[in-house]
Amino acid sequence: MELWRTSLQIVLMALEILTGFLGVYQIVMSLAGFWHRRESVRHSPRKRFLFLIPAHNEERVIGLLIDSLHTQNYPKDLFDIHVIADNCTDHTVQVAEKHGARVHRRTNTELCGKGFAIEWAIREIFQSFDRHDAIVLLDADNLVAPDFLERINSKLCEGHRVIQGYLDVKNPFDSWVSVSMAVSYWFSNRMWQNARQNLGLSCSLGGTGLCIDTSVLMEIGWEATGLTEDLEFGVRCVRRGILPVWAHDAKVYDEKPVDLRSSMRQRLRWMQGHFDCAKKHMLPLLISGIRERNFAKVDAAIYLFQPTRFIVLFLTSLMMVFQVSALQDTPWSKSLSFLPTNFWVFINLFLYLQVPLALLLERVNWRAYFGVVLLPWFLWTWGPITLQAYFTKNNRVWRHTVHKRAIRLDDLRGR
């Protein structure tokens, strides 16, 4: 019995120290996110782009995305729009062609998922890469801001090779779930992505609004076919010294689930893919970073260890609850005594206050602040999702997220 209690105390102390480190680390890193000056477009249109849009039964939204691409403030002869109709059984092909896209039909029912579709399409159009300087990956439910390409063009002209655009939400006020997701994204964009851009570190890739110089694909290929193909490709880039950069002013609008069940299913897939990617790349990336004294690699390895920035909020909240609750007189709570209660109160206070501060800095609609009140409940749903994902991390079954909101770009202006 004494051995069991001692073992429990050691495990809990290790968890406490690790959580405290991650909390402090996130606070310190996020300080660099406070500052952002809107970048001017320094280069005239020069690069030629290929928009690549994987789509599975997206007849309701694909046309609106293509329409938004046709409104780009960029010469029409310098970009092409290609849609991957991936095992579609609806009218996605007809709608995409009607709106002016070139469609590639894929009918492989064994290798399912976005990563496999992208890999197949890149092979299909590889011979045309000599006509394109970069590809831009988009999801079928997206809308793209008119100045997106001119801003991405400037980044490419400055020598950057992998660029992640700003991920905004096109339906933030549909439900408490969508506004919670939107608040999470606005916070991450400012205090995580923008912070790392200011520090000269790698941003994390979001799977859409992603621009890749074609020379990178020729150099390392795609080879990202897991449940989180964006994370996998980004890690492969960092391991090879190619740092993805963040374009804070190049906006893409993404649709988020409106009900908790759909949101949890989507986030479970993200976490399963994250754990699978971490198993393959975390230690090699950390060891390489330490040996090379490359902090960008070390930071990327820490991100792989920490499945999502909001798990830190969940864990630090849990630690504080344990220490300030009535459980203080139990052996369980006495094991959590390495770091004082005041430490956890400070960490939680600072982390949670960053959320409304990020919304203020991002100048989002005033209705978003109601989402801050709901956010703690939403964050706590990450706990069971992450636990389930860890024990099912070998799952590679892709589950399609149904998109329902037919929103036009004009509907977002003045939001």
Q: What is the pLDDT of residues 165-176, one digit of tens each?
A: 999 999 999 999
Using DSSP's 3-state secondary structure scheme, residue 80 falls into strand
Using DSSP's 3-state secondary structure scheme, residue 72 falls into coil
Nearest to 199 by CA among 38, 21, 34: 34
Nearest to 226 by CA among 304, 140, 162: 304
Element (H or E) spanning 302, and its range? helix 295-305
DSSP 224: -
Q: Could you state, in order of their start, the residue ranges of all structural domains in the chain?
A: 1-54+62-72+111-415
The one-letter code for the residue type at 47 is K
Grade residue 351 by pLDDT with cuts at 50, 70 and 90: confident
Grade residue 21 by pLDDT with cuts at 50, 70 and 90: confident
**Which segment of 245-254, 316-325, 345-354 scores lowest on mean pLDDT?**
316-325
> Which has more pLDDT, 393 or 294?
294
The pLDDT value recorded for residue 363 is: 93
Average pLDDT over residues 327-331: 52
**β partners of residue 81:** 51
**Under 8 Å between Cβ of 285 and 304:** yes
Is the model's pTM score more than 0.85? Answer: yes
Q: Which of 108-117, 184-193, 217-226, 326-335 has the highest mean pLDDT?
A: 184-193
The pLDDT value recorded for residue 326 is: 46
**Does 329 score more than 60 pLDDT?**
no
pLDDT tens string 224-278: 888 788 999 999 999 999 999 999 999 999 999 999 999 999 888 888 888 888 8
Average pLDDT over residues 127-145: 88
Measured distance CA(303)–CA(294) in Å, rounded: 15
pLDDT tens string 28-80: 999 999 999 898 888 999 999 999 999 999 999 999 999 999 999 999 999 99
Grade residue 330 by pLDDT with cuts at 50, 70 and 90: low
Measured distance CA(269)–CA(246) in Å, rounded: 24
> Which has more pLDDT, 412 or 99?
99
For the chain, give the mean pLDDT: 86
Grade residue 323 by pLDDT with cuts at 50, 70 and 90: low
The pLDDT value recorded for residue 404 is: 61
Q: Which of 111-125, 208-222, 377-391 has the highest mean pLDDT?
A: 208-222
